[in-house]
Chains A and B, each alone.
Chain A
C-alpha cells in the first residue's frame, strides 16, 4: 500500500465490523405490533359502533393500564423500558375487547394488572410468557367479578344503543345454550348482538385477521385449523342433537373468530413449527366446542386457549421439523 493510500485511509470514515448478514429486511418488533393494532381496528370500531362510548372507554382503560403496569414493572426491576414496542398496548386492546362493555372500569384495570404483571412480566416479559396475557387477565377478572363479567346490560337500559332489536340480555351463545333461542346469523356476522366489546362482529374480526395474515404477522394455519375443527364438532353436534345452534351460529357467535385470529395466533404462546401450529389450532378449536357443548358455561375460547398454551412446549418438542437432507445420522 502506498503512503498516499495510507493517508487517505486515515481520513476515510471509521469502518464498522459485525457478523453477517450485513443487510436486513426486518421490520422492527414495533412495526409487527403496529400491524396487530391496525388489524384490531375493525373489531374495535364495530364494538364502539354497537355498544357506544363505554366500549371505547373499556379499551382505553385496558391499554393505559397495561402500558402502565409494564412500565412500573420495568421501573421496579430497574430494567430498560419496553413499553415502546407496543406489545402491552396490543394486550390492552385485546383484553378490552374481550370484556363486556358494561363492566366497571376497575375490572379492566385489575385484568390488565393480572395480564401484564402475572402472565407476562413474571415469566420474563415479551416472548417468554407461557400463557396468553390478555386471556390470563380475563380469566382472572372472570373469577373475581363473575357477575360483572356475565352481565351485559346496564341497570335501567334495554340494550346496547345500536342493537335495539335485542330484547334479551343474554349473549347469543348463552341464549342458545340455556334458553334455546337462536339468533339471526346476519346479526351475528355484523356484530349487532350482545357480548364482549370486540367479539360480536365476526366479519370485522375476520377482516382484521386476514390483514394480519397477508402481512404475515400471524400464521394462517392456526385460525384455519381452529375454525375447521370447531365447525366439524359443531356439525356433528348439529346432526346428533336437536340444538338450535347450527354450525353457522357456533362459528359466528361468541369469541371464536376473534380468538382464532387474534388470541390463538399470539406467537409467543403458540407452537413455532408448521405442524405444531396445525395441532395447536385444531386442538384449540375442538376444545372451544367441547367447552361450549358440555361445560356449564356458554363460551370456551378463553379456557381453550389457556389450556392449549400449556401444551405448547410439548408440541414444540414433538414437532421439530426434519431438516433438508434428513436428520443427522447417528455415528455407529
Chain B
C-alpha cells in the first residue's frame, strides 16, 4: 500500500461498471518525450475547442512570431489560437478536423530561423523553475484572464475552454479541484510522460487553477497502473498541500463524471457540469499549460502527443507544435507499417479515424494510435439478443441497446425515456457488444437528430 492509497478521500477510488481493455501502454510509456524538429509548414485551425470559432486576425503574407495571436473571438465560451511557429502566413483556408468539423485555418510557412527549437523549446515550455510561493498573492480574476489570453482549453481531448471552468459563480462555489492524470484510454502515454518528465509545472498549474476557481482542496488523481507517475508527482507536490491519489485502473476513469464519483463520491447531475457539485476537473497537461500561461505569459502552442500502436514503426511521445500535419508526425516515427489499417486521432475508444493524414493536430490531440487490420472492430452487425452486456458495461447506468434502437427508429420519445442525453459516448457498450452493433454511432446520431424542445 503506497501513500497514494492512504490519503483520505470521500470516494471509493472506483465507479460502478466500466470495462478493462488491454491498456497497451508499454508500447510507448518508456519513451521519453522527443521534440519534433520544426516542420516546414503548419496549419493553425481557427476552432480547436468547444464553443464559438475564432475569426482570423492576421492578414495573409505577414510575418508572424511564435505565440502571436492568429484568431480570437468575442464569445465567452471560446479561446484564442496562436502561432505555434514563426513564419509567414498565407490566405485562410478550410481544413477538416479528425472529428469531421470543417473549420477555417491559417497556413504558416515556417521561417528558417526559429528562436525556440529542440532543448530550448522544451525548457521554455516545461523546463526551468516554477515558483509557487507568490501564487497566493495573485488575483483569481487575473489568473482566469491570463488563462483565456493563453488560449488554454482542456487537453484531455474534450477541449472545453479552461477559463470558463474557472469563472466563479456565486451560486455554485467550488470546493475541490481534481487534476486528472488518469489517462484511461488504452495506448496513450502523453500525460504519463508529462507527469514523469515535468511534474513541477503541473503542480504550479494546479495551485493556480485552485486559486482561480476558489477550490480549497486539490487532488491529483492518477490510475494505479502508473505507480512511477504517482511517485514523481508526490515528490513534486511535497509541501504544497496537494494530495496525490491513486485510483483504480478502469475505463473510463478519466471521464469527469466517473472521476468525480471515484474521488468525491458525488454525482454530476445529468445535463449538468462538475461545478454543479462544487468540483472543477483539469487535465494534467492543461494544468501545465495554465502554469505556463500565467507564470511565463506564454500561450498554448505545443503539446505532447503519443504516436503509438502496432501500426507505427517506432512508437514515440512527441512534443509537436499545434498545426503540424499528422503525416509529418507519423513520418518522424518511421511511418506506418505494412499492416497498418486505421489511424486514430486520440485513443482507440473515443478517438476519430482519419481518412486523410494531411490534417493538423490541435490542442486536444492527445495521441495518434495506429491499429492493424487484425485489431480493429469490424462491425459485422447482427441482431441484438438483449444479452445486457452493454447494460453491465455502461458507466452511466444506461441501457445503450434500447437508446440505439430508439435512435435507429427515430423514436425520440423512447430515446428520452432511456435518457439518451446522459450518454457520454465513452464506447464501453460497443466495446463489449457481441452483436457488434455500432451503439455509439447510433446514439451519437440520435443525439444530433433529437428535436430541440
Contact = CB atoms under 8 A, between A and B. Distances in A.
Given A12-B336, A26-B436, A216-B389, A20 B327 contact: no
B399 A21 contact: no
A270 B342 CA distance: 38
A323 B422 CA distance: 7
A323 B403 CA distance: 13
Given A17-B353, A18-B353, A22-B377, A324 B257 contact: yes
B438 A328 contact: no
Contacts of A29: 382, 385, 434-435
A2 interface: yes
B56 interface: no
A31 interface: yes
Interface residues of A, number: 51
Contact of B350 (A8, A15, A21, A327): A21
Interface in B358-405: 358, 369, 371, 373, 375-377, 379, 382-389, 391-392, 395-399, 401-402
A25 B402 contact: no
A250 to B, nearest CB: 29
A184 to B, nearest CB: 38
A22 B257 contact: no
Contacts of A1: 325, 327-328, 358
Nearest to B325: A1
A274 B433 CA distance: 17
B385 A19 contact: no
B441 interface: yes
Contacts of B375: 22-23
A241 interface: no
Contacts of A19: 353, 438, 440-441, 444
A54 to B, nearest CB: 32
A128 B441 CA distance: 22
Contact of A13 (B15, B339, B453): B339
A78 interface: no
Given A19-B441, A21-B377, A272 B342 contact: no
Interface stretch (B65-73, B147-155, B215-223, B266-274): B266-274
A326 B267 contact: yes
A16 interface: yes
B261 interface: yes
A20 B267 CA distance: 26
A324 B422 CA distance: 8
Nearest to A14: B341
B145 interface: no
B342 to A, nearest CB: 5
A324 B424 CA distance: 11
A223 to B, nearest CB: 14
Interface string A67-110: 00000000000000000010100000000000000000000000
A13 B358 CA distance: 15
B427 interface: yes
Chain B binding surface SS class: loop
Contacts of A12: 335-336, 340
Nearest to B386: A267
Nearest to A325: B270
Interface stretch (B125-133, B235-243, B412-420): B412-420
Contacts of B350: 20-21
Contacts of A126: 382-383, 385
Nearest to B349: A21
B19 to A, nearest CB: 7
Contact of A31 (B335, B357, B434, B453): B434
A230 B392 CA distance: 27
Given A273-B391, A331-B453, A15 B340 contact: yes
A125 B382 CA distance: 11
Nearest to A219: B388
A15 B355 contact: yes
Given A16-B342, A219-B388, A23 B349 contact: yes
Contacts of B268: 324-325
A31 B272 CA distance: 40
Contact of A23 (B325, B327, B348, B352): B348
Given A26-B432, A328-B422, A267 B385 contact: yes
B376 A321 contact: no
Contacts of B113: none
Given A267-B388, A328-B271, A15 B354 contact: yes
A22 B187 CA distance: 12
30 contacts: A5-B331, A8-B335, A9-B327, A13-B341, A15-B353, A16-B342, A17-B355, A18-B342, A20-B349, A21-B348, A21-B440, A22-B342, A23-B21, A23-B377, A24-B377, A24-B430, A25-B19, A26-B377, A28-B434, A127-B435, A321-B391, A323-B419, A324-B395, A324-B396, A325-B422, A327-B270, A327-B419, A328-B271, A329-B269, A329-B271
Interface of B: 15-16, 19, 21, 40, 186, 257, 261, 267-272, 325, 327-328, 331, 335-336, 338-344, 348-355, 357-358, 369, 371, 373, 375-377, 379, 382-389, 391-392, 395-399, 401-402, 416-419, 421-422, 427, 430-436, 438, 440-441, 444, 453
Given A22-B351, A267-B388, 12 more contacts: A15-B343, A20-B349, A20-B352, A23-B371, A127-B435, A320-B418, A324-B15, A324-B396, A324-B422, A325-B267, A326-B269, A327-B419
